[in-house]
Amino acid sequence: MDIGFIGLGEMGGAMVANILKAGHSVRVWNRSPDKAQALAELGAQVVGSPAEAFAGDAVFSMLADDAAMRDVVSASLLEHAPRGLIHVNMATISVSLAEELATAHASRGVHYVAAPVMGRPDVAAAAKLTIVAAGPAEAIDRVQPVFDSIGQKTWRIGSLPQQANVVKLAANFMLASAVETLGEASALLGGHGVAMQDFLDVITNSVFPGPVYQGYGKMIAERRYEPALFKARLGLKDVRLALAAADSVSTPLPVASVVRDSLIEAVAHGDGEKDFAVLGQVASRRAGR
Ligand code: NAP
């Protein structure tokens, strides 16, 4: 396929490398042009504006957050986009912005697909992302070859793009809650002289197997929060987005409120750039350790 790709951060850069490897032709744009150089060496065509990336069969975007999306995907960009182009937005953004973007794209004859992903940059580099897609079925069919080059599986959720964003936010809310409880359990165990690693050996081989308890549990046991694979600052963004999505349909998320405050506490102590697992340190500090 002939595609554009906007946003070459930790996730976007790894994704483009795999899309190129699969033989697609990719025009890339990033706010800081230096990040495009390594991809140019792999065969990407570097372009000077988002408008030049909005061409061909489809354009993908992997920007940081709502603010970045609003800065880049302007009304004028959509106005000048070719009719029938597909825009696939893979970032974790708010449900309300996803709804707004779906309407704005439709009014200008551009198809909009939301396809947020699960998996950190190392998973993106291994082309093993889990992709959650929602939007017009035909548009998803057309970009499926690109999804196949970056992910292990694409899950289709529905025809409304924002539904994929709700799935992503609900998943990250559960992830954040699991890390919070791991941190609190670690503080409890520490108070009674039980090693966190001994506890992890028991629970990950019985009632709580899986990558979340194993991966984050190990980081908390080792008090190792750097280098960050998923920054506390980004985790806070996602929990806030889950709370806003819940608020919009009058749904209380009391656990999310607790986790949000723990993440704010981490950021207030200067740990926003550390890994999400720093919630373990927040719980220990509250316990006076
Ligand atoms: P990142 O490394 O911080 O990259 C963010 C990208 O957004 C960069 O290309 C950055 O450009 C661009 N950007 C930020 N503000 C901008 C603005 N105002 N105008 C234009 N461009 C702007 O983030 P990431 O880890 O790749 O994450 C990207 C998205 O994937 C986020 O929505 C995140 O929540 C989601 N996600 C992340 C992970 C993960 O583990 N990291 C996992 C799943 C999903 P510059 O290079 O110029 O700064």
Task: Name residues contacting ligand 1 (CB within 6 A).
Answer: 7-12, 30-32, 35, 62-65, 67-68, 71-72, 91-92, 117, 120-121, 230, 234
Express each pLDDT in 200-231 by its tens digit. Answer: 999 999 999 999 999 999 999 999 999 998 89
| Atom 1 of ligand 1, residue of closest alpha carbon | 9
The structural domains of the chain, with segments of one domain joined by +, span 2-159, 166-286
9: tokens are 């951060």
Mean of pLDDT values over 79-103: 97
Q: What is the pLDDT of residue 240?
A: 98
Residues with a catalytic annotation lie at 168
Q: What is the mean pLDDT of the chain?
A: 97
- The model carries a pTM of 0.95
Express each pLDDT in 158-181 by its tens digit. Answer: 999 999 999 999 999 999 999 999
Mean of pLDDT values over 189-209: 98
Q: What is the pLDDT of residue 229?
A: 83
CATH number belonging to domain 2-159: 3.40.50.720
- Per cent of the chain over pLDDT 70 is 100
Express each pLDDT in 121-153 by its tens digit. Answer: 999 999 999 999 999 999 999 999 999 999 999
The CATH number corresponding to 166-286 among 2.60.40.290, 2.60.40.10, 3.10.20.30, 1.10.1040.10 equals: 1.10.1040.10
Is the peptide bond preceding residue 227 cis, with omega within 30 degrees of 0? yes
Looking at ligand 1, which atom is closest to the CA of residue 8? 9
Q: Which of 234, 237, 241, 263 to mutate to test the pocket of ligand 1 (most atoms within 8 A of CB)?
A: 234
Which parts of the chain are beta strand (E)? 2-6, 25-29, 45-46, 58-61, 86-89, 111-114, 117-118, 129-134, 151-158
